[in-house]
Structure 1
Amino acid sequence: MKNSLSRTAKLLRKNLQKYLRSLSRWLSDTPERALLEAYQAAQRIKNIESEHFDNKKISLQSVNYTENVMSYWQVYLNKNLTIIKFRLAEFQLSRGIINISNPVLLEKLKVIDEVIEKYAMKYETINELPLSSNYQPLNINEKEVKKRLKIPNIDEIKVKPQIEKTGKIPSSIGRNINKIQTDLTPQTEEEFIKNYRISKNRTIIALKLLVLLITVPLLTQFLSKEFIVSPILERVRGDNITKIFLNSDMEKEALHELHNFQEALRFEYLLDHAPSLSSEIVQDKIKSKAVEISEEFQRKSNGNLGNVFADLISLFSFGIVIAMNKREILILKSFMDNIVYGLSDSAKAFLIILFTDIFVGFHSPDGWEVLLSGFADHLGLPDDRNVIFFFIATFPVILNTIFKYWIFRYLSRLSPSALATLKEMDE
């Protein structure tokens, strides 16, 4: 048994070393690989320009194409610009970790910069635009400003009557006519498509980051525990009998299980369901059961310790994801704000009541007790009832105070109608 376990451990170590070597090679090749993919995307854009747009920019102003043909090239252009954006970000990040010096990289960077400068607006929709998609630059006429800033003479000032003249056509009809004229201009369609693409790109970025924030810590926790932490703990702890239990609760649980096994043997004997056994056979059965229980609880102890270190590694990976995606975090925050503030007042009030009742409501202590007991069992900590009850008596109260302050300070200012709906639903 021990020989098979040692062979399995050696095989796992060899596979882990092989995986780490391949990972090291992959990391060392990351800057050149990322820059090569960005360079290839830039070359594809330049090839399309030379073959179909007379070495000009891919746009309707360069060549007179139909709308469907131009839409095809537009999708192709956006795809390659996205590849350039992400591969350049990967290149900059990996270059800060791995030092490289290759003059060929400078030539590739020049080609990539030429393409980015030519399509500055397209690249800007993905990477450089502010968070508000309704942003529009303010057009200022310098002559008009100077004319308005010029101080007139007193004689030239004429007092206008306060009574507003009523035209033959109501102003609302005029505003509607102007709106129709604005909607029929070709710039309106381009602006709508541009805003749609910006919103689409932000949604994709927010959803990708949300998936990363969930999957990366979970995968890191599982992989680090299975392939790194658990083998090290098994090797360090070994078969030491004195290190079986992490706390007194685990020891009591093991003794209780052994006591139940003894009572079960006695119960079967008293009911004549089992033949009479000598004291030596009974002791052997009890001893084998004790060994089985000790092995089970040693594995459980190793798993609890492994959870502690794996959770720390997972938390570190979560921090790395946040540090590497600061701009994406802002986009995700804007995305979540749009979802929350886009809800109706009744939906906002319903979610607030549901959230507060779960965490700080009348029935919340039972949920907190289950949650804290599971967390203690996950980390191998003793299930101290006094600590749990003290936490339940203090933390939900603090949380409730924070909720009430947020409702009083911010919700009343951001959405007064939602606050009124919340008061009516509480009453």
Structure 2
Amino acid sequence: MISTISMKLKSILNTLHQWFSDTPERALDQAYKAALMIKAIEDEHFNSQKISIQCSDQSRSVISYFEADLNKYLKTIKVRLAEFKTCRSVFGVSEPPMIDTSSVEAIERPARYYPLELNEQQAIIIDKLNFIDQVTSRYSTDKKPDPSASLVPLSKNQNQIFSPQDQDEQILKSLSELQSSSQSEDVDCNSVVVNSKKMTEKTGILPRSIVETVNRIQRELDPKAEEEVVSKFRTSKLKTVISIRFILTLIIVPVLTQQITKTFLVSPIVDSFRNHDEAGVFLNIDMEEEAYFELHKYEEKLRFESLIGIVPEVSPEQMEELVKHKAEEVAEEYRGRSANAVKNIFADLLSLAAFALVIVKSKRDIVIFKSFVDDIVYGLSDSAKAFIIILFTDMFVGFHSPHGWEVILESLSRHLGLPESRNFIFLFIATFPVILDSVIKYWIFRYLNRISPSAVATYKNMNE
């Protein structure tokens, strides 16, 4: 039995490995077929020229029809070539499996079982890529940079198109410059505080408010002012894009990992190791009690309907047969729930590993995301900050929060197939919200009171 299971598992893994290994060749073949379709349209309807209205006498409707096909094939080529490059860097080009050359079929069909030489494979790939480039080169247009809407001409560095990594480095550089400027401003503020006595003692001809207004007008009339505004806007835009991309990656990657691994990896392994006939029906006592209650409720329902005449009178033998059939259905249902709970455990572990991998590989994105969150939080008004704090605390540590925590823990227990321990749930509700409430109060006293005292005062007034 163990050898049979291991052979099944090995067959599944070999099939998956072969499918992934054939992905580069499959993607290149699909791109090559799309290029062939474009070439066929050009030869048949456009005299081997570019698909455009200048190269044909067809009507505009016909040209639009062919252009729609052209866009579809070009998109297919673009996607499949990207898939080819990505997968080939990971898996490489798959090699045909070695077959016993002494077999009759190998002798009759040698081209199917004898692998090509490496040079011949590379020559085929190069020919396909050259043909694809030759077909698509007619439709690749160099986009000119859009004219800037700013009054001041931008520098060359600002017109460059940065890769995602260069964008991250640019934002990190901008953040460091902002931090250094803020530190210098703090130093200037400290020097102003130290020398405030001398400034107050010194009497000027004009009030300082008028001098500050004049200085602000001078800064706005500076020719480099617009460049600074545009640079800050672009940095803010890139920061927003990278932060949203990081949030979506942090959510989508673990969810997809959990679903894909559960469907294609964990489920076949668990089903092969759990024999359908010998596997236990229940994982814990809670499932067993639920099944007994459901079966008892069904039996009582049959008796009640039989007594009041809704259904014909049921004999003891028929009653036993119906209850037995229902018991088999309940057993099959809870056997599936037990297997699903085991699958959820392993799939969730792989999902947590994917989440941790995203966190480890996204250190730059985390720094940018932290700056993005700081900008949002500091941009809120005092009443909005106080409202968010009250909403969060009432939801997780407020009077009605124990019911929510109880639902969350019970759902988590059912998801993982764990018994619902009431003692553990009550102990968790009695300790964790209290700890969380203490941490929030300490954060308000230690940090928020220093950063935004007016928000703390608004919070106290709203909370009272």
> Normalising to structure 2: TM-score of the pair?
0.63
Cα separation, partners in 2 of 1:241 and 1:335, compared to 1, 3 Å: same
Q: What is aligned with 2:202?
A: 164
- Does 2:328 match 1:291? yes
Cα separation, partners in 2 of 1:395 and 1:124, compared to 1, 3 Å: closer
Q: What is aligned with 2:255?
A: 218
Q: What is aligned with 2:385?
A: 348
Aligned counterpart for 1:29 among listed residues 89, 95, 109: 89
Aligned counterpart for 1:402 among listed residues 432, 439, 456: 439
**Residues 217 and 317 in structure 1, CA contact (< 8 A), matched pair in contact too:** yes
SS at match of 1:243: coil
Cα separation, partners in 2 of 1:284 and 1:78, compared to 1, 3 Å: farther
Per the TM alignment, residue 389 of structure 1 is displaced from its structure 2 partner at its CA by 0.8
Moved more, 269-278 or 395-404: 269-278
Structure 1 alignment gaps of length 5 or more: 1-8, 33-47, 53-57, 87-121, 140-159
Per the TM alignment, residue 275 of structure 1 is displaced from its structure 2 partner at its CA by 3.0
Aligned counterpart for 1:250 among listed residues 275, 287, 294: 287
Aligned counterpart for 2:337 among listed residues 288, 295, 300: 300
**Counterparts of 1:352 and 1:67 in 2: how far apart (Å)?**
41
Which amino acid is the alignment partner of residue 125 of structure 1? Answer: Q
Q: What is aligned with 1:423?
A: 460
Aligned counterpart for 1:130 among listed residues 140, 165, 175: 175
**Counterparts of 2:420 and 2:225 in 1: how far apart (Å)?**
65
Per the TM alignment, residue 376 of structure 1 is displaced from its structure 2 partner at its CA by 0.9
**Counterparts of 1:281 and 1:14 in 2: how far apart (Å)?**
51
**Residues 248 and 382 in structure 1, CA contact (< 8 A), matched pair in contact too:** yes
**Counterparts of 1:180 and 1:278 in 2: how far apart (Å)?**
98
**Residues 152 and 227 in structure 2, CA contact (< 8 A), matched pair in contact too:** no
Deviations 1:1-41 (A, max 9, x none): xxxxxxxx999878744544357984551599xxxxxxxxx
**Residues 206 and 335 in structure 1, CA contact (< 8 A), matched pair in contact too:** yes
SS at match of 1:383: coil
- Does 2:300 match 1:263? yes
- Does 2:182 match 1:182? no
Q: What is aligned with 2:163?
A: 82
**Residues 131 and 334 in structure 1, CA contact (< 8 A), matched pair in contact too:** no
Cα separation, partners in 2 of 1:19 and 1:355, compared to 1, 3 Å: farther
Which amino acid is the alignment partner of residue 388 of structure 2? Answer: L
Correspondence list, 1:47-126, <5 A: 77-79=159-161, 81-82=162-163, 85=165, 125-126=170-171
Cα separation, partners in 2 of 1:312 and 1:10, compared to 1, 3 Å: closer
Which amino acid is the alignment partner of residue 78 of structure 1? Answer: Q
Cα separation, partners in 2 of 1:221 and 1:124, compared to 1, 3 Å: closer
**Counterparts of 1:341 and 1:67 in 2: how far apart (Å)?**
28
**Counterparts of 1:214 and 1:341 in 2: how far apart (Å)?**
25
Moved more, 212-221 or 285-294: 285-294
- Does 2:258 match 1:233? no
**Residues 387 and 459 in structure 2, CA contact (< 8 A), matched pair in contact too:** yes
**Counterparts of 1:223 and 1:317 in 2: how far apart (Å)?**
12
**Counterparts of 2:384 and 2:418 in 1: how far apart (Å)?**
40
SS at match of 2:251: helix
**Counterparts of 1:72 and 1:302 in 2: how far apart (Å)?**
62
> Normalising to structure 1: TM-score of the pair?
0.68
Structure 2 alignment gaps of length 5 or more: 1-8, 25-83, 93-140, 185-197
SS at match of 2:160: helix
Cα separation, partners in 2 of 1:304 and 1:311, compared to 1, 3 Å: same
* Root mean square deviation of aligned Cα: 3.9
**Counterparts of 1:208 and 1:162 in 2: how far apart (Å)?**
51
- Does 2:400 match 1:318? no
**Residues 382 and 458 in structure 2, CA contact (< 8 A), matched pair in contact too:** yes
Which amino acid is the alignment partner of residue 373 of structure 1? Answer: E
**Counterparts of 1:394 and 1:406 in 2: how far apart (Å)?**
19
Q: What is aligned with 1:371?
A: 408
Which amino acid is the alignment partner of residue 371 of structure 2? Answer: S
Tell me how many residue pairs correspond in the alignment: 334
Per the TM alignment, residue 400 of structure 1 is displaced from its structure 2 partner at its CA by 1.5
Q: What is aligned with 1:192?
A: 229
Moved more, 204-213 or 263-272: 263-272
Aligned counterpart for 1:272 among listed residues 309, 325, 334: 309
**Residues 133 and 199 in structure 1, CA contact (< 8 A), matched pair in contact too:** no
Deviations 1:50-97 (A, max 9, x none): xx9xxxxx9x9xxxx99799779988x533x226x37xxxxxxxxxxx
**Counterparts of 2:15 and 2:369 in 1: how far apart (Å)?**
38
Q: What is aligned with 1:336?
A: 373
SS at match of 2:370: helix
Cα separation, partners in 2 of 1:15 and 1:289, compared to 1, 3 Å: farther
Aligned counterpart for 1:361 among listed residues 391, 398, 402: 398
Deviations 1:342-365 (A, max 9, x none): 211111111111111111112211
